Amino acid sequence: MGFLAGKKLLITGVLSNRSIAYGIARACRQQGAELAFSYVGERFKDRITEFAADFDSRLVFDCDVGDDAQIEKLFSDLHAVWGRFDGFVHSIGFAPREAIAGNFFDGLTRENYRIAHDISAYSFAAMAKAALPHLNDQSALLTLTYLGALRSIPNYNTMGLAKASLEASVRYLAEAMGRTEDGRAIRVNGISAGPIKTLAASGIKDFGKLLSRVADAAPLRRNVTIEDVGNVAAFLLSNLAGGMTAEITYVDAGFSQTAGLSADQV
């Protein structure tokens, strides 16, 4: 029996079998969790239904997190099947392409800023608010962030601002949900993953160069995988991490703790 046996978790953000959410789903299923999935766009329904079947799930819901009504419907539909459940993974990010390429100012418009923050940051807090009535005691929420929240990283640009907002949301949500009025303890954490080649990441200009520079400089001298992230995610979603909340945990082969240089490079 795995350490997530008996937990019911919603996984958002599976788009391909390279998605970070796919790695998280695999690790959670291996540890015994029962899973449901949400995706955006009717055209992906068959694909996500097949992925869900990989994890013994028939629960797939269409939800564009840019729409409050769809977020409400997602959780009321999930509640209709599961009753209360034990948390969700927010593995969602989006910024218009010109906002994650080249000169910071070129992509900086009010509309690009709004979209990046709406889809990549506000959606996590909005989902937490909508899910709250349906969550069991000892539930856990998890989101995915990136070092660009704290440091300027070439091309990450407007998305870095959105990730900074997302990381602040983790701390405020953790405080708001840590002891609810009816006595439930709900934990909220983030994983700051090192760069991984996924569909979202391929939208970032020169992402391939970033991957190789990070692999050269990281203490482990490699990039991380969706399995690396998935295993830490499963732990954070479980009662093994019952004393951890409001944290951003780095799964990045150690890169964030270097000055961007390895011993081989000096």
User: Shortest Cβ distance from residue 266 to ligand NAD (Å)?
Assistant: 26
User: Per CB under 6 A, does 177 bind ligand NAD?
Assistant: no
**What torsion, rounded to 10 degrees, do the Cα atoms 15, 224, 115, 170 define?**
110
8-12 and 248-251 as β-strands: parallel, antiparallel, unpaired?
unpaired
User: Shortest Cβ distance from residue 246 to ligand NAD (Å)?
Assistant: 18
Q: Which helix (H) or strand (E) holds 188?
A: strand 186-193
Q: Which of 55, 146, 156, 250 binds ligand NAD (CB under 6 A)?
A: 146
Binding residues for ligand NAD restricted to 13-52, rule: CB under 6 A:
13-16, 19-21, 40
DSSP code string of 94-110? ---GGGGSS-TTTT--H
Is 41 one of the annotated binding-site residues?
no
CB-wise, 191 or 239, nearer to ligand NAD? Answer: 191
Is 199 one of the annotated binding-site residues?
yes
Tokens of 201: 């990441």
CB-wise, 57 or 145, nearer to ligand NAD? Answer: 145
- Contact string 51-90 vs ligand NAD (x = CB under 6 A): -------------xxx------------------------
Burial letters 53-87, b for 16+ CB under 10 A, else e: eebebebbbbbebbeeebbeebbebbeeeeeebbb
* Tokens 């969550």, residue located: 135
Q: Which residue type, as a one-letter code, is found at position 6?
A: G
Tokens of 255: 């890169």
Is 188 one of the annotated binding-site residues?
no
Provide CB contacts within 8 A for 264, sequence distance 6+: 216
- Contact string 85-124 vs ligand NAD (x = CB under 6 A): ------xxxx------------------------x-----
Binding residues for ligand NAD, rule: CB under 6 A, are 13-16, 19-21, 40, 64-66, 91-94, 119, 144-146, 193, 195-196, 198-201
Catalytically active residues are: 146, 156
- Pick out the residues of the known binding site for NAD(+): 13, 19-20, 64-65, 92, 163, 196-200
